[in-house]
A and B are shown apart, each in its own frame.
Chain A
Amino acid sequence: MEILRYAFYRFGTMLLTLWVVSILVFVIINLPPGDYLSNQIAELRASGQSAGVAKAEFLRNEYALDKPLWQQYFIWVGFMPGPHGFSGLVQGNFGWSFEFDRPVAEIVGDSLWLTVLVNLAAVVFVYVVALPLGVLAAARARSWVDYTSAFVGYLGLATPNFLLALILFYYGHRWFNLPIGGLMDPAFEGEPMGWEKVKSILIHLIVPTFVIGTSGASAMMQRLRANMLDELGKPYVETAIAKGMSPSRMLAKYPLRVAFNPFVADIGNLLPAMISGSVLVSVVLGLQTIGPTLLTALKTQDMFLSGFVLMFVALLTLIGTMISDVLLVLLDPRIRYEGRDA
């Protein structure tokens, strides 16, 4: 019951944060001088194409770009009726992409869940790699395992993501015959889900997951190692060893449990960095996530498209952070949020 209440409270704060983020995003996408349509209208006027001007003017009116900024914001979010009544983000209308001349929802389409998939895979990778390595590095502190993992970790932190991506792609293709670019075989694009398609996606996921997850995994590993080392010096560990517990069982039973909490909580801190990384890596590797879409949208000043992508990326991070917070409360009985009375 408590946990439900906490989850509910946490969801509420997330919505509030999301609202603040929407203001921020709206300000950012309106920062460049002028908007896509007014630029286009000026261009069309200059080249004397009046038919285009009429269409652009129509769109301008249609998407309320001729209204003052604050009204535009409320219409965009859907808190205020636009030219077509209430139809904003809240109502599920993501706007119109001027560059592609299609609704935003249609353009992002598939790439939304592919983005989620890539990031999910990266999170899983971080845990799967960091957990055993971190514990091992702590249990065998100051041995070659420790030093090697620390060295690899530092390299992972220092190498720019995108270069790692390019290099891994190159060698992955050369040595393991991994496919280059994209998230699935071009043959499967737009096809319905099937076993073959899933397989193709999984193979294509290997390199991106590795690249996006590496820096997160190394940060996580170092954190876990430090926590474990702190715990390993405590008397209860000594007691456990003294009474003859096997080392691996002892590790898993006592210190790991204590060191595990920050491990879960940290994903909230890591997630923004990982989603950043996935945007960059997607652009470099040509993955069909929303990363490349964001870049084109920003470069062409396609404000509704970039606004939606930014909102989606933020939403993804916020949901991830929320889940990690709730998980933490589930995992650690000592943590309670302040509102609760004993």
Chain B
Amino acid sequence: MTQLPDGRFVDDAPYDPQASLLELERKDLDAPNWVLIWRKFKTHKLGLISGAFLLICYLLLPVVGFIAPYGPNQRMSEHLYSPPQSINFFHEGEFIGPFIYPMTSEADLETFQWVFKPDYDTPLKLEFFCEAKGYNIAGLIPSNTHLFCAPEGATLFLWGSDRLGRDIFSRILYGAQLSLTVGLIGISVSFVLGIFFGSVAGYFGGKIDWVINRVIEVLRSLPELPLWLALSAAVPSNWSPVAVFFIISVILGILDWPGLARSVRAKFLSLREEEYVRAAEMMGASSGRVIRKHLIPNFMSHLIASATLSIPAMILGETALSFLGLGLRAPAVSWGVMLNDAQNLASIEIYPWTAIPMLPIVVIVLAFNFFGDGLRDSLDPYQQ
């Protein structure tokens, strides 16, 4: 590109009379689907930010032990209900790097509560890459190095401590491991069930369609929570936390599939009559092959978007169940289990920080909603 003295721009490439005017656009039209989707998704700023945020969250899950200064169930029995401590940089106008003021506790004999006061005279510097309580990276590799931990002889409760003196910040990080994966497992279950029943009903039609449709109607007309409650009440109490976690996610998924199945069925009904399906059938493809190879890829992206939009419901469902004491149970840490502590007004009034786990819930749910909206909008790249 050169600019002529009169200000016009001229292409340096030699003039080619054979070049097609459409070539540039053709390149656009022939780009693979995901390139087009990505190009459109990029313009959806809120969705992009939310997606990046969620990606970071999920990538951090295996290494939460490194970030968290304490273990999930590590108790500091001297510091029950300690209020949040802040990290400071300047002590009496002088920069000394990140430090905290240690908390001193004192019993208030009138209210019978521990009163915590920061000791403003002795700033203690935070330690970085220090060794403390051991944990496993991704549940496999043992390690005991933490990103930062409390200075000797002091505590580090960024978001306060709970009823048993456990660090809420660390517990939120560990809780994310369960709270964020519950939705993924649940949605996988619901995805498999929904696609299976939806495609069977839509492809074969007739009696099967009628039966599946009635089942979908019945399940959709029932309130979810009472059924979730009833099903999780049936989980034997002597199961291990891991087993309970899996069964709860499956329960969340089992009641979620009808919505998905319905949209799959509707798509199938319209696509079944297309020529390419007829052609595949003529060439002797089995029903399973037609469904898997020819029909489902057509609207997989659409399904993924709607699945993304129903993950938040599962996260909220897990939270509600655990909150009511019928979901995940004590040694397991999830945001719902933590909120169980904030169940009554008294504790919110006196120890407002016990309700902090609701922040990550709201943030994650919003992020999933925005991300799903963005995905849904960008899935049809040819539509302007």
A residues in contact (CB < 8 Å) with B: 17, 20-21, 24-25, 28-29, 31-33, 154-155, 157-163, 166-167, 169-170, 180, 268-269, 271-273, 275-277, 279-280, 283-284, 294-295, 298-299, 301, 306, 309-310, 313-314, 317-318, 321
Residues of B within 8 A of A317 (CB): 221-223
- The answer to whether B221 and A309 have CB atoms under 8 Å apart is no
Q: How far is the CB of A205 from chain B (nearest CB, A)?
A: 18
Does B233 make an interface contact (CB < 8 A)?
Answer: yes
Cβ-defined contact, B366 with A313, below 8 A? no
Are A28 and B234 in contact, with the CB atoms below 8 A?
A: yes
* A321 and B225 within 8 A (CB): no
Shortest Cβ-Cβ A-B pairs, 5 listed: A276-B225, A31-B234, A298-B233, A158-B365, A275-B223
Residues of B within 8 A of A166 (CB): 342, 345, 348, 355
Interface string of B44-61 (1 = CB under 8 A from A): 000000000000000000
Docked complex Cα distance between A280 and B316 (Å)? 12
A279 in contact with B225 (CB, 8 Å): yes
Q: Which chain B positions have C-beta within 8 A of A283?
A: 324
B313-369 at interface with A (beta carbon < 8 Å): 316, 319-320, 323-326, 339, 342-343, 345, 348-349, 355, 358, 361-362, 365-366, 369
| CA gap between A31 and B325 in the complex, in Å | 18
CB-based contact A280/B320 at 8 Å: yes
CA distance A28 to B297 in the complex (A): 36
Contact A154 B226 (CB under 8 A): no
B198 within 8 A of A: no
Alpha-carbon separation in the docked complex, A284 to B227 (Å)? 18
User: B221 and A272: CB pair below 8 A?
Assistant: yes
B205 to nearest A CB, angstroms?
16
User: 1/0 per position for B189-223, CB-CB distance to A under 8 A?
Assistant: 00000000000000000000000001001101111
CB neighbours of B349 from chain A (8 A)? 170
Docked Cα-Cα span, A162 to B214, in Å, equals 32
Number of interface residues of B (CB under 8 A): 38
Q: Is the CB of B229 within 8 A of A298?
A: yes
Contact B320 A20 (CB under 8 A): no
CB-based contact A158/B366 at 8 Å: yes
Closest Cβ–Cβ distance, residue A290 to chain B (whole Å): 9
Q: Show 25 residue pairs from A and B whose CB-CB distance is below 8 angstroms, ordered by the A residue.
A: A17-B218, A20-B218, A28-B227, A28-B230, A28-B231, A31-B234, A32-B233, A158-B361, A159-B358, A163-B339, A166-B342, A166-B345, A170-B348, A269-B220, A272-B223, A276-B223, A276-B225, A279-B229, A280-B225, A280-B324, A283-B324, A306-B230, A313-B223, A314-B221, A317-B222
- Chain B nearest CB from A174 CB (Å) reads 9
Q: Which residues of A have CB within 8 Å of B230?
A: 25, 28-29, 31, 298, 306, 310
Closest to A29 in B: B230
Identify which of B326, B343, B365, B366 contacts A298 (C-beta below 8 A).
B326
B83 at the interface (CB under 8 A from A): no
With A154-B366, A163-B339, A272-B220 as known contacts, state yes or no: A313 contacts B320, CB within 8 Å: no
| Alpha-carbon gap, A167 to B355, bound state (A) | 10
Residues of B within 8 A of A155 (CB): 362, 366
> A-B pairs with CB below 8 Å: how many?
118
Contacts of A154 in B (CB 8 A): 366, 369
Q: A20 to B226, alpha carbons, bound, how many Å?
A: 17
B: residues with CB less than 8 A from A are 214, 217-218, 220-227, 229-231, 233-234, 236, 312, 316, 319-320, 323-326, 339, 342-343, 345, 348-349, 355, 358, 361-362, 365-366, 369
B38 to chain A, nearest CB (A): 25
In the complex, the chain A residue whose C-beta lies closest to that of B235 is A32
Q: How far is the CA of A268 from the CA of B312 in the complex (A)?
A: 21
Contacts of B343 on A, CB cut-off 8 Å?
284
A33 to B234, CA, bound (A): 8
Q: Which residues on the B side are within 8 Å of A162 (C-beta)? A: 320, 323, 339
- Is there an interface contact between A272 and B224, defined as CB atoms closer than 8 Å? yes
Instruction: Apart from A20-B218, A25-B230, A160-B361, list 8 A-B contacts with CB within 8 A.
Output: A32-B234, A159-B358, A160-B316, A166-B345, A310-B226, A310-B227, A313-B226, A321-B221
| B-side contacts of A20, CB under 8 Å | 214, 218
Give the distance to chain A from B353, nearest Cβ to Cβ, in Å.
Answer: 14
Pairwise interchain contact A157-B369, C-beta atoms closer than 8 A: yes
For B345, the closest partner residue in chain A by CB is A170
CB distance from A304 to the nearest CB of B (A): 13
Q: Which residues of A contact B319 (CB under 8 A)?
A: 160
Contacts A163-B355, A279-B225 given; does A180 touch B345 at CB 8 Å: yes
- Expressed in whole angstroms, the minimum distance between the Cβ of B228 and any Cβ of chain A is 8
B342 → chain A closest CB, angstroms: 7
A152 to B362, CA, bound (A): 13
Flag if A276 contacts B224 (CB, 8 Å).
yes
- Measured CB to CB, the closest approach of chain B to A233, in angstroms, equals 15
How far does the alpha carbon of A157 sit from the alpha carbon of B225 in the complex, in Å? Answer: 16
Known: A28-B234, A160-B319, A170-B349. A295 touches B221 (CB 8 A): no
Chain B residues in 8 Å Cβ range of A321: 221
> Which residues of A have CB within 8 Å of B342?
163, 166
Q: Are B217 and A17 in contact (CB under 8 A)?
A: yes
> Is the beta-carbon distance between B221 and A318 smaller than 8 angstroms?
yes
A17 to B220, CA, bound (A): 11
Choose from A167, A301, A309 the contact partner of B226 (Cβ within 8 Å). Answer: A309
Question: Given the complex, which residues of B lie within 8 Å of A314, measured CB to CB?
Answer: 221-223
By the criterion CB–CB under 8 Å, are A272 and B222 in contact?
yes
The chain A residue with its CB closest to the CB of B320 is A280
